[in-house]
A and B are shown apart, each in its own frame.
Chain A
Amino acid sequence: MTSGLLLRDLRVEIAAGDRRLMPVDGVSLEIGPHECVALLGESGCGKSLTALALMRLLPDGLAITGGEARLDGTDLFALPERAMQTVRGGRLAMVFQEPMLSLNPVLTVARQIAEALAVHRGMRGGAAKAEIERLLLAVGLPAELAASYPFQLSGGQRQRALIATMLAGEPRFLIADEPTTALDVTVQAQILRLLKQLQAERGMGLLLITHDLDVARDMADRVAIMYAGEVVEWAARDVLYGRPFHPYTQKLFSVLPSTQRRGERLDHIPGSVPPLGTAFSGCRFQERCPQVWARCQQEAPGLYELQAGHRVRCHLAVEDRPGVAQAKPSIVAGATADRAPLLQVRGLALHFPIRRGLFRRSVGAVKAVDGVSLELRAGETLALVGESGCGKSTLARGILRLIEPTAGSVRLGDEEVGRLSGEALRKKRAEMQIVFQDPFASLNPRMRVGEVLEEGLQALRPEVGKAERKERVARLLEQVGLDASAALRYPHAFSGGQRQRIAIARALAVAPKLLICDEPTSALDVSVQAQILNLLKDLQREHGLAYLFISHNLAVVAYLAHRVAVMYRGRIVEEGEAASVMARPLHPYTRLLLASAPGQGLPRDAVFSERFAQVGCPFAPRCGEAKPICAERNPALGEWQDRRVACHLYG
């Protein structure tokens, strides 16, 4: 085949002293001229490096040490650098993950596109100007944005601008490296649609790098699954999603949370992705594989052809495993919730003043949280859903009084948290704790895990003696599934998932009644996410904890929560039983969120706008069903059927 993008046996090496680390070890791929191939894998599996190697843009210190890449017959790795420059952004272009960082901050969008036009198509002046406008329209941006600087654009707009830049050279193939990971779910849906549409219109090949099974399902014709630097399964999309073969692929599917799995324990993959530099003997997945047997340890499996176009790197493809099938996932009894509310939030507002002018007078306020009321019972999980900037994390910090609220009340148990001070407040803090998103920023790198866990006890339960503290720490570690010896080690010795367990143990140390989880799994790989979600469920059942679970991931919410509250621009717009909201969303915004979630086919063309209104309903400009009144009055949260909703359509 001379047409298409072909990669054979790619090896990438890192020179680290006298050791040779191979983050990419023998990867082969092929992408037809009009095809979309997804390269799927968890963090650190080498998928991004594979893409960068194709572009010959590996970071300093990494080098291609083997393999061959052919773009319509041209051997990319043999080209001199000058010739490669005409390929990059010309026949082969690449879109990156971080739209915030991937555009030059001091050049206008037009200039950044013009550069590519000049290099690859020799266009300048008026012709270039016209072409820039055409490209911007093609990616759904108004032409007047050409003169803007990147900082003036939203995340989605930047990603569109970046795509326009990369289309300037009329590429035959486009590599998209996690193009939507940093974006909100509604924007993600739009960008994915755009990519798919451009691919069809221009007859491009598309290599999509992603960690998201659902995104890959919506986009790809064929899928390659990567694990520890190798491709472990390679098949057409329908084959892979219908009959996954490799144990790792099967596991990836079974660990995903969803509405259907409510009440079940999620399946999980034990352990975590092997770190770079692990010396493998035999199969790389053997440590975590449920079907491992002697042969896996002795011999590394080849990439066996199971049937035409379906290749698998597993001994099961050629030999049946001696032994029994695996056990079904166990069912977890649902936790029962009390009737009396534990947490009562009434009209909570957090405003940050905007200061302007000569004397820094306050001329207004950013209403991060603008009158939120909610209730939470012991043993219950309330999910707080919303896109970035909707104020959900600020709300959490306001409830804990890490930020002083501007107005409103927070009652925990039978006490008003806002009125407490000094010793009484400190005592109250033992009842409410928080687990943060970033497992790397949430533990002090200079404290041993034991000291981390003891800190809360020392501050809130000073009467607990030293020996008892040590004992409690050991018990806590055991509760979250870690070895007691972990107490003596420092956080850097642990993986992201393990750190999140430690963070949970830290919060549990003071025996809280309310645990606020601020996106606790969004920084974790799906296999580790399942472990943490299971742990949270177990702890709720054992201790009757109430969770305020903040998330943007609807699948996780659907799996875990009893009730859901949807937030938009500092207000709750819909609240009700999780199952009912997920099945029958009322508010147009909730409907948009649910429709945008990947894995159910790409959405129909939605109204594209990230604007919001200052007067009236803030969602009105994006709403397909807006009525005149929506532009005038912001609807209040009212009862409607089995839930509360803030929309003029109801009531």
Chain B
Amino acid sequence: MSLPFQPEILWSDALLFVLLAAVSAFVLHVRRHEHLCVPWLRVAQSRIGMAAAVILAVYAAIGVLDSLHFRPALPAEAGQPLRYGNEVRSVLDVVAEPLRTRVEKTYSEPFALHLYAKENLTLADGRQVRDYPRLKHGGAHLADERERAGDIARRAIVGGLWGAGLAFGLWLLLGLSQVRRGRGVATATARMLHAQEWAAWRTALIALSLLLVLGGVLVQLAGHYHILGTDKVGQDVFYLSLKSIRTGLLIGTLTTLIMLPFALFLGVAAGYYGGRVDDLIQYVYTTLNSIPGVLLIAAAVLVAQVYIETHAELFDTAAARSDLRLVFLCAILGVTSWTGLARLLRGETLKLRELEYIQAARAFGVTHLRILSRHILPNVGHLVLITVVIDFSGLVLAEAVLSYVGVGVDPAMASWGNMINGARLELAREPMVWWQLAAAFLFMFVLVLSANLFADSVREAFDPRAEQR
């Protein structure tokens, strides 16, 4: 049995799946312990937090779709065994196939019908003129260029209605599930629309509905126009922005996944055992901290780059190459960022160690390992969580800066940093090529803002000091 494609699991995919598994296990664990649910229920009470969570979920969904990789089969030749190409695609590429394949020659503005650069054109009557040529794909369906505004409006409305319909269906479904639970239609409606305890869920639903409407509009338009223009080599900027989501998310999450075990283990060990162990661990993190972060990352990435370039034979696809660089970048970001959390955990453990319930456990002769796992770890969990969500947005922003410096992700990989870097060189052009910057700005800003807002509500829900105020 031969599939028309061969699944390909890149390193970062594998790590992402590990992360997803860990998150799912964590969710299950929380659900089984009511006291662990309490702070999460507080998060669920926060309207801003829930709206931010919806947006983050949409980003995450796109990121996951873009992480299911495969290599499509090459066109079958008779008598030959099926062979697979060298190009790695993702499910997102399949969904957004038209976006990926409809490549123009070079820059074009959003919704443009013409290229941004003049070319020598041969008119129907054979004359040569120098003018802006029509795009191959963007708005190619229009016979008359003056129809553009009307066409855009029409498609936007149709798409919006589609989205609204979906959203309405969602509300209806939720309402029905309420009715099914034995509530009357009137009470179910009233609950969903007015009840105080539904406030945050309502906000989340409204946010989701708005996103559905927006999604409908985008789907309708993106199929026929380059809604965010095209870049230097004519790729659709909207498509690139979507592809960048995975890069941003991975940097933000995998770094944490890699650094967390170190920070947790070393921080807690330093605080709990004290003495020589503490001295050694403190020495290690003071040393790492003393190296300017960007320089350490730069040095490590340069070294990795040299390694990759001198060992090209190890990678059978370009995707695998740039992927390894991404994973390596996450690792080195992890090395530079674990010290903060470790220091925090060390301090907290020092405090906990003196607490009476730990003294009581020691009076029972409970082993160190058990004290660590049952008394210390569960009581520093909230700190870890708060740090992880707060760090996320910082890491997404760091990616852009590092790519700009030239030590970020592979230049061939879609990322917001690379988009900005590419656009920066064109800023001096008249008129300006602004859409790449705008797209990167918009996608990053929405993600980071949502992450910050979500982090705020998580911190408020989990910080014991916030509870007292």
Direct touching of A and B (C-beta under 8 Å): yes
Q: Cβ of B363 < 8 Å from any Cβ of A?
A: yes
Confirm or deny: A510 has a beta carbon within 8 angstroms of a beta carbon on chain B.
yes
Asked whether B355 lies within 8 Å of A429 as measured between CB atoms, the reply is: no
Q: Report whether B360 and A436 are in contact in the complex, using a CB–CB cutoff of 8 Å.
A: yes
Q: Chain A 431-473 against B: per-residue CB contact (8 Å), 1 yes, 0 no? A: 0111011100111111100001001100110000000000000
Is B374 in the interface zone, CB < 8 Å from A? yes
A506 touches B360 (CB 8 A): yes
Chain A CB within 8 A of B359 CB: yes
Question: Which one of B356, B364, B375 contacts A429 once the chains associate, using CB atoms below 8 Å?
Answer: B364
Tell me if A456 and B362 are in contact (CB < 8 A).
Answer: no
A459 lies within 8 A of B357 (CB): no
Q: Which residue of B lies closest to A423 (CB)?
A: B365
Query: With A and B bound together, what is the CA distance between A178 and B4 in angstroms?
Result: 81
B318 interfacial by beta-carbon distance below 8 Å:
no
B359 to chain A: which residues have CB within 8 Å? 397, 402, 434, 436
- A429 near B365 with CB under 8 A, answer yes
- Taking a contact as CB atoms closer than 8 A, the residue among A434, A444, A447 that contacts B363 in the complex is A434
Cβ of A368 to closest chain B Cβ, rounded Å: 15
Q: Is the CB of B35 within 8 A of A441?
A: no
Question: Across the interface, do A503 and B360 meet the contact criterion of CB distance under 8 Å?
Answer: yes
Interface contact B366-A455, CB-CB below 8 Å: yes
**B367 at interface (Cβ–Cβ under 8 A)?**
yes
Among A425, A455, A460, A503, max chain B CB count under 10 A is at A455
* Contact of A426 with B by CB under 8 A: yes
CA A444 to CA B362, docked complex, whole Å:
13
Q: Does B378 contact A (CB under 8 A)?
A: yes
Shortest Cβ distance from B369 into chain A, in angstroms?
Answer: 12
Pairwise interchain contact B356-A425, C-beta atoms closer than 8 A: no
A640 vs B246: C-alpha distance in the bound complex, in angstroms?
A: 83
8 A Cβ contacts from B338-383 to A: 355-357, 359-367, 370, 374-375, 378-379
Contact check, B364 vs A446: say whether CB atoms are below 8 A apart: no
Q: How many angstroms from the CA of A455 to the CA of B378 in the assembled complex?
A: 16
List A contacts of B360 (CB < 8 A): 434, 436, 442, 503, 506-507
Measured CA separation A402–B196 after assembly (Å): 51
Contacts of B355 in A (CB 8 A): 441
Minimal Cβ-Cβ distance residue in A for B370: A459
Q: Which of B35, B356, B367, B375 contacts A459 (CB 8 A)?
A: B367
Closest to B355 in A: A441
Determine the chain A residues whose CB is within 8 A of the CB of B367 once the complex forms. Answer: 459
Give the docked Cα–Cα distance between A437 and B362 (Å): 16
Interface size class of B (residues with CB under 8 A): 20 to 34
Chain A residue nearest to B35 (CB atoms) is A490
Expressed in whole angstroms, the minimum distance between the Cβ of B465 and any Cβ of chain A is: 15
* C-alpha spacing A346/B221, complex, angstroms: 89
A542 close to B (CB within 8 Å): no
Contact string against B for A residues 480-492, beta-carbon threshold 8 Å, 1 for contact and 0 otherwise: 0000000000101
Query: Which residue in B365, B370, B374 is a CB contact (below 8 Å) of A425?
Result: B365
For the complex, give the distance between the alpha carbons of A503 and B359 in Å.
12
CB distance from B42 to the nearest CB of A (A): 12
B residues within 8 A CB of A594?
A: none
- Find out whether the CB atom of A429 lies under 8 angstroms from the CB atom of B374: no
Let me know if A402 and B363 touch, CB within 8 A.
Answer: yes
Chain B contacts for A414, CB-based, 8 A: none
Q: Cβ of A460 and Cβ of B374 under 8 Å apart?
A: no
How far apart are the CA atoms of A433 and B363 in the complex, in Å?
7
Which of these, B364, B365, B379, contacts A444 with CB under 8 Å? Answer: B379
Residue A223 at the B interface, CB < 8 A?
no
Q: A642 in the interface, Cβ–Cβ < 8 Å? A: no
A510 touches B196 (CB 8 A): no
Which residues of chain A come closer than 8 Å to B374, judged between CB atoms?
A: 444, 447, 455
Which chain A residues lie closer than 8 Å to B35 at the CB level? 445-446, 490, 492
Complex: A490 Cα to B35 Cα, angstroms: 8
* A18 closest partner in B (C-beta): B196
Complex CA gap A446/B352 in Å reads 13
How far is B364's CA from A490's CA once the two chains are assembled, in angstroms?
20
Are B378 and A459 within 8 A (Cβ)?
no
Scoring B359, B363, B370, B375 by chain A CB atoms within 10 A of each residue's CB, the highest score goes to: B363
User: How far does the Cβ of A17 sit from chain B's closest Cβ, in whole Å?
Assistant: 8
Give Cα distance in the complex from A118 to B35, angstroms.
52
Q: Are A459 and B379 in touch, CB under 8 angstroms?
A: no
Q: With both chains docked as a complex, state the minimum distance between the C-beta of A401 and any C-beta of chain B, in angstroms.
A: 9
Q: Which residue of B lies closest to A506 (CB)?
A: B360
Q: Known contacts A441-B356, A441-B357: does B364 contact A455 (CB below 8 Å)?
A: yes
**B36: nearest chain-A partner, CB-CB:** A446
Evaluate whether A460 and B364 lie within 8 angstroms (CB atoms) in the complex, with A446-B378, A446-B379, A490-B35 already known.
yes
Contact string against A for B residues 206-248, beta-carbon threshold 8 Å, 1 for contact and 0 otherwise: 0000000000000000000000000000000000000000000
A400 interface contact, C-beta 8 A: yes
User: Is A442 a contact of B365 with CB atoms below 8 Å?
Assistant: no
A93 to chain B, nearest CB (A): 27
Complex interface: chain A residues within 8 A of B361 (CB): 455, 459
Chain B contacts for A437, CB-based, 8 A: 356
Contact B375 A444 (CB under 8 A): yes
| A436-B359, A441-B355, A447-B374 known; A510-B364 Cβ under 8 A | yes
Q: Report how far A594 CA is from B366 CA in the complex, Å.
A: 41
A18 to B196, CA, bound (A): 10
Question: Please, which residues of chain B bring their CB within 8 A of the CB of A447?
Answer: 374-375, 378
Distance between B450 CB and nearest chain A CB, rounded to angstroms: 26
Name the distance in Å between B280's Cβ and chain A's nearest Cβ: 17
Which residue from chain A places its CB closest to the CB of B196 in the assembled complex? A18
> How distant is the Cα of A438 from the Cα of B360 in the complex, in angstroms?
12
| Contact, CB under 8 Å: B356 / A438 | yes
Report chain B residues within 8 Å CB of A433: 363-364
In the bound complex, residues from chain A placing their C-beta under 8 Å from that of B357 are 441-444, 452
Which residue, B360, B367, B374, has most C-beta atoms of chain A within 10 A?
B360
Distance between B426 CB and nearest chain A CB, rounded to angstroms:
52
Nearest-Cβ distance from residue B358 to partner chain A, whole angstroms: 8
- A429 to B363, Cβ gap below 8 A? yes
Nearest CB of B to A497, in Å = 16
* Residues from chain A with Cβ under 8 Å of B379 in the complex: 444-446
Q: Whole-angstrom distance from the CB of B316 to the nearest CB of chain A?
A: 48
Chain B residues with CB under 8 Å of A444's CB are: 357, 374-375, 378-379
Residue in B366, B379, B469 with the greatest tally of chain A CB atoms within 10 Å = B366
Tell me the complex Cα distance, A541–B199, Å. 57
Measured in the bound complex, the distance between the Cα atoms of B357 and A434 in whole Å is 11
Q: Considering the chains assembled together, what is the distance between the CA atoms of A433 and B359 in angstroms?
A: 11
Q: Which residues of A contact B364 (CB under 8 A)?
A: 429, 433, 455-456, 459-460, 510
Q: How far is the CB of A423 from chain B (nearest CB, A)?
A: 9
In contact, A460 and B365 (Cβ under 8 angstroms): yes
Task: Kindly identify, within residues 151 to 196 of chain B, every residue whose CB is under 8 Å from any CB belonging to chain A.
Answer: 196
How many Å lie between the Cα of A460 and that of B378 in the bound state? Answer: 23
Q: List residues of chain B with CB within 8 A of the CB of A397.
A: 359
CB distance from B381 to the nearest CB of A (A): 8
Alpha-carbon gap, A443 to B469, bound state (A): 23
Nearest to B359 among chain A residues (CB) is A402
Q: Which residue of chain B lies nearest to A509 when distances are taken between CB atoms in the complex?
A: B364
A61 and chain B: residue at smallest CB distance: B469
Inter-chain contacts of A426 with B (CB < 8 A):
365
Smallest CB separation, B207 vs chain A (Å)? 23
**Which residues of B sit under 8 angstroms from A432, Cβ to Cβ?**
363
Specify which of A18, A432, A506 lies most central, judged by the most chain B CB atoms within 10 Å of its CB.
A506
Kindly state the separation between the CA atoms of A18 and B35 in the bound complex, as whole angstroms. 24
Question: In the bound complex, how far is the Cα of B188 from the Cα of A610, in angstroms?
Answer: 70
Closest chain A residue to B362 by CB distance? A402
CB contacts under 8 Å to B, within A498-524, are 503, 506-507, 510
Show 12 residue pairs from A and B whose CB-CB distance is below 8 angstroms, ordered by the A residue.
A18-B196, A436-B360, A438-B356, A441-B356, A441-B357, A444-B379, A446-B378, A452-B357, A456-B364, A459-B366, A459-B367, A459-B370
Q: A429-B364, A432-B363 are in contact. List 10 more A-B contacts (CB 8 A).
A: A434-B363, A436-B356, A436-B359, A436-B360, A442-B356, A445-B379, A455-B361, A459-B361, A459-B366, A506-B360
Smallest CB-CB A-B distances: 9 pairs? A426-B365, A436-B356, A446-B378, A442-B356, A456-B364, A429-B365, A444-B357, A459-B366, A459-B364
